[in-house]
Chains A and B, each alone.
Chain A
Amino acid sequence: MIESARSEATKIEAGQPLIQISDLTKVFYTDEIETHALSGIHLSIAKGEYVAMSGPSGCGKSTLLSIIGLLDTPTAGRYSLNGKTVENLDFAERSRIRNQEIGFIFQSFNLIGDLTVYENVELPLTYRQRMPAADRKARVMEALERVGMAHRVRHYPSQLSGGQQQRVAVARALGGKPSILLADEPTGNLDSRNGEAVMELLQELHREGATICMVTHDPRFAKHAQREVHLFDGKVVAEEELKKLLAETSA
């Protein structure tokens, strides 16, 4: 297990970033309107980094995250993940990469109500070809123990508090041993106490070596990250510039 995780990691040559995005644009076409959600994004995230993305609502954070997570494709630009160009892969190939390289944590937890905690965490592993059941079980239990939910394996999501649900969701993201964890406002649905607990969990994971990219508009949580990327109107801007821009818009 550890072995294979290491070999995955060794695929990245020294110095080469895990995520390399250049001149990325995303345009949504709806009826008569073109929405330029992203216009010319340059971003690289190194292995082991903890990046927070912030910016006002509608500036393109979720869009960027979904492209990083291969849920969506860019209109133009280049994106390589783990040294591999991924912007033009087909659906099946992207499914495979999502499954193996990406761990998602959603604002609304997105656990599946009909499945138990155990089955939810196991779910991404069931989409992997040729993974022995014993390995799967070991991974699921390891991930659940990591987030402190191993005692709730047989519970259904509806029997858990929001904070517990999000911890299960984190376990689900960890179970696949992804290259990167993507979190879109993971605390948005939690009260501050539970929110803090989840942020602490992410920080611990980061200390243990996980690469994390988290969207948040809460500056307190953004400070947990090593690096903050500010988005404004579909572009990455420097912090001072963002302040200036924000001041202009509010004026």
Chain B
Amino acid sequence: MSGLVQDFRYALRQMRKSPGFTFVTVITLALGIGATTAVFSVVDQVLLHPLPYPDSDRIVKVAETFQGVSGTDASPANYLDWAAQNSVFAEMAASRGWPANLSEGDRPERVKGTMVTPSFFSLFGINPILGRGLAESDAHAGNDHVVVLGYGLWQRYFGGDRGTVGRNVRLNGEQYSVVGVMPPNYSPDDYGELWVPSPWGVPSHPLAPDKDPRQFRDRSYLDVWARLKPAVTPQQAGAELDTIGRRLEKQYPNEDDKIGVSFLPLHEYVVGDIRPVLLVLLAAVVVVLLIGCANVANLLLARAAVRGREISIRTTLGASRQRLLRQLLTESVVLALLGGGFGLLLAVVAVPSLLALSPPEIRQFKEIGINREVLAFSFLASIVCGIVFGLMPALQASRSNPSEFLKEGERGSTANRGRTRSVLVVAEVGLSLVLLVGAGLLVKSFARLMDVNPGFDADRLLTFNVGLPSSTNAAQQFAFYRDVMQRLQALPGVRSVGAVSRLPLAGGNSGRSFKVPGIDKDYSADIRVSTTDYFRTMGIPLMKGRNFSESDLGSSLNVAIVNDALAREVFPGQDPIGRQLTNFGPDNLTLQIVGVIGNVRHVGLDTAPHSEIYQLLGQAQWPSVFVAMRSATSDATSLTSMAQSAVWSVNKDVPLANIRTMQELIANSVQRRRFSMLLLAIFAGVAMVLAAIGLYGVMSYSVAQRTKEIGIRMALGARRPDVVALVVKQGMMLVLMGILAGTVLSLAMTRLIAGMLFGISATDPLTFAGVAVLLGAVAFFANYLPARRGASVDPMVALRYE
């Protein structure tokens, strides 16, 4: 033990003795460990931590399947049957998003609420911090106007006032009494601002809020949650649900045709697609750390050459190999811990920026930060680094033959040390190439994605969401929207205004099934309800037929406009104008196609357009709409406050929600890709710089060792360019080997990010070539500087005899 203390003291003295070396080492390690720690803190919370509910690994998300493919929602009737027939779940609950206009005094606000079954809170195992949750008795007509507030809304809107419980608030123009407040960060989705019950127990249908939903079997809009009984395995639960699903399919051959049931652990549902992204980023940042370690190992190797004499003397004095190893490793571990300490500070600073960059899937984990596990991780990472980069130099130094050093000074094993250092540099170049290729592929994918024509003109478009309570009748709603449209259109600086039920890239979608006369086939398409001016405002081209017109509103003919994708899918090679769509939706409407418009990328720029059917607002209704306003000036956001006043002048209880420009929506829709691209690009850049520094170090060392040789060559007539070429050639050989190794490795590795690419193959030769050229150019510089130094050697050194 006292030996260790002595080693530790000696290590500190060594660090003080060479401050430059210590500085470079600590900075390199701080960067590597800091970045790794920051990424790990995200991985820790998102992937490794259980969700903040008691026994959260027992909670699952249940959903209908269609033809064996899992969906995300379920119909009320199916939900009720599952709940009644299963024996594997301790509890089940259903919910649906319930956006509401909250108004207290003169501050209306649109909030993201949820309508739930009373079992919702007990299923998640969360108790209110104030008042109570929802009870069975609340879910009955007459008792159902109670609301439980989320912590965030309670703080923001009610100032955290404990007296809020018991008060009445206006939601969608009706009185609700506040019965409780839930703790912070409680919600499996982002609709956790408030919760209300349904008078029928199960949440009502958004488009038919006044109807008893319990018999709806072909309208799937519920999110269904369940908690597995303690002794039940997921396999058992799956088997039983399968049986129930098949039974229901037989029992309801029309509504439940090809419908089954499946579930997903809640954690997987919440974390979703972000898992592979995070794992790739973690792998990338670990590679950066390894490259940093290789650099430090290189510095240590160079130093080992200098310290050979000291070590020889220690050996001569009887130090055992183990003793020497321990001392050398203590030195490197102390260095690593120091680097890790600074790295931790860096991580503390970096994590907020990382979160700011990150997509909502990550940001929903509010607890991300430096906690005890992250601390332990960075401590462990530091120690492992210290051993990784210290072991090879220590082994080499402790192996050196003392007589060699004492007798011959520099000669002997120097060539061998040079080889180890070269191998390290080749590895660094290779690994950084892998990261660069990955980053290159993501950057190129992103560029391709941004080149995708979304099907509309996103410039100068302001969009927002307005909604009247769904309890208002159709005529009131239509009158409201019509008034709002007229007032908005009259605003100065507004080119045109349109409204639509589902705006592209704003999230959310709805579908309907339909048939075509003469074809025995069920089709399905996305459904939109829009105003006449919507297409013109968005710049969506009319390809055939006509637009909606005012006169359609008075007509008994239900008109529809379909997109090009539907026309091609359903009417290939035929003229769809005048054709009918029958059995449309649950009400079995018949629609007549009057026009065909261009395709729009609704789900995402990277998702091919689906078939779409547009109905005219007025002939069909929708509880809330997105308004799109095209501005005459380049700054569309300047219209915001005028738009708000215009809406308020129609109804002072209706707030604007989700106010965003279309460009923002596009940016948001690619946020996850931008996040992974940016991070990987940063890591690849750092890796490349570290590799270049490593190369620079090795070449500088080599030039210093070859000073005499260079002098001799000059005395024999080598010109400066000859010397530069000599050194650069030596270095570029290493680079070339690194690039070759990296290319082979990349070909194997890029498969891992194939799922993150768009419009480009994982082996895109242009990216591979471009990255190799970039790395080659940077490496050339790292070579050129020491080579220049080599070329300035005074040929007189050839004459000097030491």
Contact = CB atoms under 8 A, between A and B. Distances in A.
Interface string A60-78: 0010011001011000000
Interface in A67-108: 69, 71-72, 91-92, 95-96, 98-100, 104, 106-108
A98 B715 contact: yes
Interface in B669-724: 708-709, 712-720, 722
Contacts of B801: 106-108, 188-189
Interface string A178-192: 000000100011000
A172 B795 contact: no
B796 interface: yes
A98 B716 contact: yes
Contacts of A113: 709
Contact of A127 (B709, B717, B798): B717
Contacts of B718: 95, 99, 127
B722 A106 contact: no
Nearest to B798: A110
B715 A104 contact: yes
A104 B716 contact: yes
A128 B717 CA distance: 8
A189 to B, nearest CB: 8
Contacts of B708: 110
A95 B719 contact: yes
A189 B719 CA distance: 28
A62 B722 contact: no
Nearest to B721: A92
Contacts of B720: 91-92, 95
B799 interface: yes
A72 B796 contact: yes
A139 to B, nearest CB: 14
A40 interface: no
A106 B798 contact: yes
A114 B726 CA distance: 13
Contacts of A27: none
A197 interface: no
A184 B718 CA distance: 20
| Main DSSP-derived SS at the B contact region | helix
Interface in A35-70: 62, 65-66, 69
B712 A95 contact: no
B722 A127 contact: yes
A111 to B, nearest CB: 8
B799 A106 contact: yes
A95 B717 contact: yes
A229 B796 CA distance: 22
A184 B716 contact: no
B796 A71 contact: yes
Contacts of B717: 95-96, 98-100, 124, 127-128, 176
A62 B718 CA distance: 21
Size range of the chain B interface in the assembly = 10 to 19
B713 A62 contact: no
**Which of A62, A65, A112 lies at the interface centre, i.e. has the most chain B CB atoms within 10 A of its CB?**
A112
A112 B798 contact: no
A189 B801 CA distance: 10
Interface string B762-802: 00000000000000000000000000000000011011010
Contact of A71 (B709, B719, B798): B798
Given A92-B719, A92-B720, A127-B719, A62 B714 contact: no
Contacts of A96: 717, 719
Contacts of B798: 71, 104, 106, 110
Contacts of A108: 801
**Which of B709, B717, B720, B722 lies at the interface centre, i.e. has the most chain A CB atoms within 10 A of its CB?**
B717
Interface string A114-147: 1000000001100110000000000000000000
B719 A112 contact: no
Contacts of A104: 715-716, 798
A65 B801 CA distance: 14
Given A91-B720, A92-B720, A95-B719, A123 B713 contact: yes
Contacts of A127: 713, 716-719, 722
Contacts of B716: 98-99, 104, 123-124, 127, 172
A176 B798 CA distance: 18
Nearest to B708: A110
A107 B796 CA distance: 13
Contacts of B715: 69, 71, 98, 104, 110
Contacts of A100: 717
B422 to A, nearest CB: 14
A187 B709 CA distance: 21
A123 B798 CA distance: 15
A103 B798 CA distance: 13
A98 B722 CA distance: 14
A62 B719 contact: no
Contacts of A124: 716-717
B791 to A, nearest CB: 9
Given A65-B799, A66-B796, A107-B801, 11 more contacts: A98-B715, A100-B717, A106-B801, A110-B708, A113-B709, A123-B713, A127-B713, A127-B716, A127-B719, A176-B717, A189-B801
22 contacts: A71-B715, A71-B795, A71-B796, A71-B799, A72-B796, A91-B719, A91-B720, A92-B720, A95-B714, A95-B722, A96-B719, A98-B716, A98-B717, A99-B716, A99-B717, A100-B717, A106-B712, A107-B801, A112-B709, A112-B712, A127-B718, A127-B722
